[in-house]
Chain A
Amino acid sequence: MKEEKNNNIFINLAKSYQIESSLIQNYKYFSNVADYEGLGETSQLLKNISETSLDNAQGSLDYLMEYSDPDTEMPLGNTILHLESLIASETKQFTEIYPYFIKQSRLDGAEDIASWYETLEKLKRKHVEILKNELDRIKKLNIN
């Protein structure tokens, strides 16, 4: 694992990964709207680009594998490491990030958005439970 603190290469890779990942979602979402508007060819074009953006995001991830998960700064490289990083990332979401968002949304009077975050918070908790079980299972297989 390469040193990532204050490393511009790591910082830029993390940013490009984030940009391309969110672009995939924009393209897919907008493709659906174009489909509704009867713009089938535009919809297909946007869908195609979303698939390319997936490659673009994963291209940055190819390099990030040599550093760490930009979200958790935990090492990457094999499935056990990946599950550990995902567990840490999802745990952070339901213990810190979403509880803060829920509180803030309620203070801002956006009750519906708070409820949306609550569904995500619970889902993250469930995903961590599933991932932990899977991690335990494959650790017993002793394959990595």
Chain B
Amino acid sequence: MNNYNAENIEVLNGTDAIRKIPAMYIGSTSSNGLHQLFFEVIDNAIDEFHAGFAKEIQIILKKNGECCIFDNGRGIPTDIHRQTGLPACQIVFTMLHSGGKFNNDSYSNSMGLHGVGLSCVNALSRELDVKIYKNKKCFNQKFSKGKLTQKLIEIENTDNIVSGTNISFLPDFDIFSEGSSFSLEIIKNRMRELAFLSPGIKISIVDENSKNNITYQFKGGIKEYLQYLLKGKKLYNPNPIYFSNILTKQLSYELTFQWTRSYGDHTHSYVNGVSTIYGGTHIDGVKQGITKTIREYALKNGLIEKEHIENISISDVFEGLELILSLKMHNPIFEGQTKTKLNNTNISQRLEESINTDFYKILKNDSKLGSAIIQKILDTFYARVAARKASDRAYSIHFNEKGIDEEVYKKQFGERSKNWHESAVWITNDELLAKHVEHTDVKSDSIALDVCCGSGVVGASFKHKVKKVIGLDLTPEMVALAKTRLDEVHQGNVYNLPFDDNSFDLVVTREVLHLLPRPELPTSEMFRVLKPGGQFIVGQILPFNEIDAPWMYRVFKKKQPLIYNMFQEEDFRNLLLKTGFIDLKMTEYNLWESIDVWIDTVETSGLHRHEIRNLFYNASKEVKENHPFKILPSGEIMDLWRWCIFSVQKPS
């Protein structure tokens, strides 16, 4: 360009800048970004509650995609702003870094801070209509794509509202990804969470699409919230631990936690009501404070030998822990506008010291509780050491004719049998089972074998297609479970099936062969026990292609140390065809799986759970383009698994 001069320099006003690079302000233009708009408005309403003014928030999700949020707080100021000569509300909706939260006079601890919230919502909305109620008067202003379309005017207060703010906005769906819309589920979860964190507030949601009316109002705060989260979980200590502290005028916290018999740690942290799903310095302080207290208490009371104390890791202490931290502070520093991680450096140590003091007092005054917690942590520690040994042993398997080390598998799957059906969505998903059954091509008087049958759900789904289903599993606990579903169940090893040649018309198995070294040996065994012309149906989760395969290998291997194969479609086809099977057919079925549920299991260490989450959070663009997954605003990860169901025949 030869004429490069001042005319070429583009100066964008605030809302234009947001429209040009929306992801910089709201994280993304996907569903998460869309919901960020909603949360920005809600954050302001909640701030009005915490400032002592709003008592109620009403949300309406309209059929046309519009969202209306009303709070009965003070109402956004409408008077003329001295510096600009414009109504204050107009500034809030059109100028970046404006608002009442830069000094601490109007709001002591606010959720919104950066002063871009409402201007973002306005900039990214096709239409925005705000009604502000003050002293029974109603003022109205309208915008489109961030631009003023109707100046602030007074209108008739038909609703007879004394004070408050009602913001109705229709997001600009040209900006957000195709198909994005407000999810009642996401909104409900966040509103429930906020109602727990703001005891007394009444939040109502009307969804015109599903015709759902929901109201949340809780008085018990985070104590009641913990009880809600613990529903259905088996508890270790009968009563939750709770304490709160005002450290300074600017810093206070409430903390409650309880150990359960699950495996993952579930920490829920909030800073001024903002959910910090990636943790941060406050969670560092909590982890260090609780772990330090446990070590000190155990040592002082002779509950753990001195030489073992340093070996008790944070992972041991936090396993099965359900914890809620609600921190209130001035000037929180978050990582990014979506505020998912707290970065204030001085917080960690202050929380650690305070928690150490208070938690120690609780344990000291309740030695029964102290002993129970230490015993739980010691059990976890010994289980971790044993699991590591098992994993090391599995790792160094020198495969021979005797096959695998059965004890490693028996131990793990014996433990997992306790909550087998709850450990992943796929295990009992009817549609997935039906996808296996629809391949069936044997007569109704056939005899079927379900190999590595687990609880017998796969074999049971074939019962209406054949005369008899026999199961086989290595683990006595699984055999006992399967006996409730199948006609006959044997205990045995897949490398040496305890059946004669040519015994079955149909053999089925699912998500097993990746756990077995030298998978060609078990497939040969299945071939052997099938009658000539018999059918083998096998389901397996496979990567979408070669690009997501190494990433998936890491995710799966960290979850399950017994993974030996990350098959790709070509490998799996070759495995079956080289075994001697013919007439290969394959169907695909994609199923969403909750990674958080899937990794809450005995064989996955705390560190590995953390690493798995990071593999999703930090997945490369190349992986994301090839493997669909979603990170919900709650931080929960939903992964799309590509199930491939193969059918092959033994030659006649």
Contacts and interface: CB of A to CB of B under 8 A. Distances in A.
Interface stretch (B39-47, B423-431, B604-612): B604-612
A36 B288 CA distance: 11
Interface stretch (A15-23, A57-65, A112-120): A112-120
B565 A111 contact: yes
Interface stretch (B74-82, B107-115, B379-387, B545-553): B545-553
Interface stretch (B53-61, B216-224, B392-400, B522-530): B392-400
B288 A38 contact: yes
Contact of A36 (B285, B397, B398, B606): B606
A122 interface: yes
Interface string B273-301: 00000001101111110010000000000
A125 B280 CA distance: 40
A41 B348 contact: yes
A109 B549 contact: no
Nearest to B543: A119
B553 A109 contact: no
Nearest to B553: A119
B549 A111 contact: no
Contacts of A3: none
A115 B284 contact: no
Given A36-B606, A123-B547, A116 B397 contact: no
A110 B566 CA distance: 14
A119 B569 CA distance: 12
A126 B545 CA distance: 10
A116 B287 contact: no
A41 B546 CA distance: 37
Given A36-B606, A40-B280, A122-B568, A109 B550 contact: no
Nearest to A107: B398
Interface in A77-133: 108-112, 115-116, 118-120, 122-123, 125-126
Interface in B593-620: 606-607, 610-611, 614
A37 B553 contact: no
A39 interface: yes
Contacts of A123: 546-547, 549-550
B549 A122 contact: yes
Interface residues of B, number: 40
Interface string B420-457: 00000000000000000000000000000000000000
A37 B396 contact: no
Contacts of B545: 126
A35 interface: yes
A120 B550 CA distance: 6
Interface in B567-603: 568, 571
Nearest to B615: A32
A111 B513 CA distance: 13
A112 B611 contact: no
B547 A115 contact: no
B233 to A, nearest CB: 23
B518 A111 contact: yes
Contact of A112 (B345, B563, B568, B607): B563
Contact of B517 (A33, A40, A111, A125): A111
Contacts of B345: 41
Given A32-B614, A116-B553, A122 B396 contact: no
B550 A116 contact: yes
Contacts of B571: 118
Contacts of B566: 115-116, 118-119
B442 to A, nearest CB: 32
A31 B398 CA distance: 34
A32 B238 CA distance: 34
B6 to A, nearest CB: 31
A82 B564 CA distance: 36
Contact of B546 (A35, A115, A122): A122
Given A36-B610, A122-B568, A115 B396 contact: no
A40 B397 contact: no
Nearest to B609: A36
Interface in B500-518: 517-518
Given A38-B283, A109-B399, A112-B557, A32 B546 contact: no
A37 B610 CA distance: 10
Nearest to B519: A111
A32 B611 contact: yes
A37 B292 CA distance: 12
B148 interface: no
B314 interface: yes
A39 B314 CA distance: 11
Contacts of B606: 36
Interface centre among B291, B314, B565 (most CB of A within 10 A): B565
Given A32-B611, A118-B571, A119-B549, A37 B287 contact: yes
Contact of B564 (A32, A39, A111, A119): A111
Interface in B606-650: 606-607, 610-611, 614
Nearest to B514: A115
B607 A33 contact: yes
A37 B283 CA distance: 10
A113 to B, nearest CB: 9
Interface string A35-79: 111111100000000000000000000000000000000000000
B546 A125 contact: yes
Contacts of B546: 119, 122-123, 125-126
Contacts of B348: 40-41
B555 to A, nearest CB: 12
A112 B291 contact: no
A112 B288 contact: no
A33 B315 CA distance: 11
A141 B156 CA distance: 65
A109 B313 CA distance: 32
Interface centre among B285, B313, B543, B549 (most CB of A within 10 A): B549
Contacts of B286: 38
Nearest to B317: A38
Contacts of B283: 38
Contacts of A35: 610
Nearest to B396: A109
A119 B284 contact: no
Contacts of B517: 109, 111-112
Contacts of B543: 119
Given A40-B348, A41-B348, A111-B565, 7 more contacts: A36-B606, A37-B287, A111-B564, A112-B395, A116-B557, A119-B553, A119-B566
6 contacts: A32-B611, A36-B611, A37-B313, A109-B399, A118-B571, A123-B550
Interface of A: 32-33, 35-41, 108-112, 115-116, 118-120, 122-123, 125-126
The 3 lowest CB-CB distance pairs between A and B, nearest first, are A38-B287, A109-B398, A111-B517
